[in-house]
Structure 1
């Protein structure tokens, strides 16, 4: 019998009820869904599996349900030391100076999107704001020309919807389209490289291992990975954040009156509404945890969204609290060698998005049915809102 059913209909809150039950009585859970997989729900176990790549490899399967059907996409699809040159190249373009240089652009895009929603009296906060902003920001960070920015926005939205609806045909088709874009970008940067401190594709082309360039095939996979990895999660987190603020208008009012609290509030929102529950690892040998043996080579989902609500780590873990003293224990951006390299950009983007939304409104209210995501994400897919301007 399955310990849980990830295919059953869900509300925005019901998965957390399931994970609370599993943490207490079945921390190493199993289900036959999607061919069968295990799930780790406690903070200590998730943190260990995420960090110990020798025991839990990422080279076999990266998410549950399995999405990747095309080529290898470093650095997520490789473990150290093979993944390290790709991470170094990406990190080179995500230093604080480069991230902070995007602030004026982020503010500009936020204001444009909010003004458009205000002119209509509201909108759908995920599709009209949360989904568009990260695509525009990533396209700017990658130095894409305007026509490619618009194309990426369209394809990324279709790709995300296909993943959420388990539409394998469309998922694969749009993934191939993203590969085509990555291929064109790679050839463009070969012909006219930019400074590797300013452009991720140029940084990958400049990288060397034992004096040799990285293989074109794996650079291509890295660019393809980068094109969407930072697009889906921010809209999920942001939609959940807006729902929380609508459920707690006193907090909405506090953050509107004291915007300096927003970065700390965003850290707590990221903990409380961690957008992933399906990042996967594969044990390289039989692993026994809490009296349960996970056989070698069987997929294991690291339920970050459960780990970040573990009551043994976070006091009153299901509630929002500003300035938690142990926020460093949050697994919102993962742990170990595959910790999200774009965490600084994500924090900046989300904080500005919330600050501008609150600055330009006097009230935000839910205005329709909230539709939750399915695995591998957890959070909101659709959040209709009414916006009242200042």
Structure 2
């Protein structure tokens, strides 16, 4: 097999992401539903996932997200340093996900402990350690699936995302336990850390840029007011969140493998069966597409933070709703968010992106 090729130009990454036939997502021997699938198989399972994140479902989740965000922010100190990634981002991500999935509050601590183990393992990869961490997480998810099945049997089930998966069918049959666990693993193991890093990126940008912080605060006030301009203000708010993430993309890269010889739009020739990395971070900073300015409206159309093509992130709308909720709650709970002068932010080490720690103070 050839050495891995990293695509960094915006045009090359977009072309590869859109061409799922030439750039296959089957890069692992493990089951990844639906991320590690292609063609009709991917479409069938992707439809299952999309049904759990419709605009209606996301809209119905917003009051819960607002409540969870306010609870987490209320627990943060005022006038003292806290970490926007762990104390805010992780705490909110775990609480919001558990409520969406219908998982008990007692599991929040276990999820955060697993996240810490997973972060540490990412810095010093060890196949045996990684396998154990993955197995532990699968066992955690399986317990929640079993609990939901038991609740159905005794008539105490609730209408949540985990329960809805038990009713899903693909190819005319119910999802297997392995498929359900794979989907839930993707939503939790992958998304919890991603959302926490997104929160860190957004808070860091706003803390370092009081002018944009005040703009976002005014938009939040308008959205809460629910006036005639609320939809436009929400759109601008999300564009600012997206621009924060574009400039400092926490989603570094995705793997593909070529199924045939390919020539990218920039002229790079790639042989068949070559591992490829779609470098979202580099593509989102391509000077051929983006200016050096922080310009949410101008850059929104080409922003690749949530991907593009058939594997575009199905949770994009949910992610924006979560980020909007936690950012609004933080700004509403303080007149000013600023960086902690004596404690500097720390970046994640590769292969992770974004910040490992963002110390800030709210006043």
Q: TM-score range by the shorter chain?
A: 0.7 to 0.9
Among residues 275, 294, 297, which one is paired with 1:323 in the alignment?
A: 297
**Are 1:131 and 1:231, in contact at CA under 8 Å, matched by a contact in 2?**
yes
Report the RMSD for the aligned CA atoms in angstroms: 2.6
Higher helix share: 2
Among residues 380, 383, 386, which one is paired with 2:355 in the alignment?
A: 380
5 Å-filtered alignment, 1:184-199, equals 184-193=143-152, 198-199=159-160
Q: Separation in 2 of the partners of 1:180 and 1:42? A: 40
Residue 332 of structure 2 corresponds to residue 332 of structure 1: no
1:179 is aligned to: 138
Q: Separation in 1 of the partners of 2:278 and 2:194? A: 16
SS of the equivalent of 2:335 reads strand
SS of the equivalent of 1:59 reads coil
Q: Separation in 2 of the partners of 1:258 and 1:221? A: 38
Relative to structure 1, the CA distance from residue 248 to residue 146 in structure 2 (aligned partners, 3 Å threshold; closer, same or farther) is closer
5 Å-filtered alignment, 1:31-70, equals 36-61=3-28
Q: Separation in 2 of the partners of 1:146 and 1:256? A: 30
**Are 1:371 and 1:380, in contact at CA under 8 Å, matched by a contact in 2?**
yes
Relative to structure 1, the CA distance from residue 372 to residue 188 in structure 2 (aligned partners, 3 Å threshold; closer, same or farther) is same
1:279 is aligned to: 254
Relative to structure 1, the CA distance from residue 113 to residue 178 in structure 2 (aligned partners, 3 Å threshold; closer, same or farther) is same
Deviation at 1:239, TM superposition (A): 1.2
**Are 2:207 and 2:360, in contact at CA under 8 Å, matched by a contact in 1?**
no
Q: Separation in 2 of the partners of 1:90 and 1:198? A: 16
Q: Separation in 1 of the partners of 2:79 and 2:189? A: 29
1:163 is aligned to: 122
Q: 1:96-121 CA distances to partner (integer Å, 9 max, x unpaired)?
A: 22222222222222223223222461
Q: Separation in 1 of the partners of 2:238 and 2:73? A: 20
Q: Separation in 2 of the partners of 1:202 and 1:89? A: 13
1:121 is aligned to: 80
Q: 1:130-174 CA distances to partner (integer Å, 9 max, x unpaired)?
A: 122112111111111222333223223322342245455543322
Stretches of structure 2 lacking an aligned partner (at least 5 in a row): 221-232
Relative to structure 1, the CA distance from residue 242 to residue 380 in structure 2 (aligned partners, 3 Å threshold; closer, same or farther) is same
Relative to structure 1, the CA distance from residue 246 to residue 167 in structure 2 (aligned partners, 3 Å threshold; closer, same or farther) is farther
Relative to structure 1, the CA distance from residue 332 to residue 215 in structure 2 (aligned partners, 3 Å threshold; closer, same or farther) is same
1:30 is aligned to: none
Stretches of structure 1 lacking an aligned partner (at least 5 in a row): 1-34, 62-69
5 Å-filtered alignment, 1:11-30, equals none
**Are 1:90 and 1:200, in contact at CA under 8 Å, matched by a contact in 2?**
no
Deviation at 1:285, TM superposition (A): 1.9
1:104 is aligned to: 63
Aligned residues: 343
Residue 280 of structure 2 corresponds to residue 296 of structure 1: no
1:364 is aligned to: 337
1:344 is aligned to: 317
**Are 1:85 and 1:209, in contact at CA under 8 Å, matched by a contact in 2?**
yes
**Are 2:102 and 2:162, in contact at CA under 8 Å, matched by a contact in 1?**
no
Q: Separation in 1 of the partners of 2:50 and 2:156? A: 14
Residue 327 of structure 2 corresponds to residue 354 of structure 1: yes
SS of the equivalent of 1:82 reads helix
Residue 197 of structure 2 corresponds to residue 236 of structure 1: yes
The higher-RCO structure (CA 8 Å, 6+ apart) is: 2
**Are 1:71 and 1:221, in contact at CA under 8 Å, matched by a contact in 2?**
no
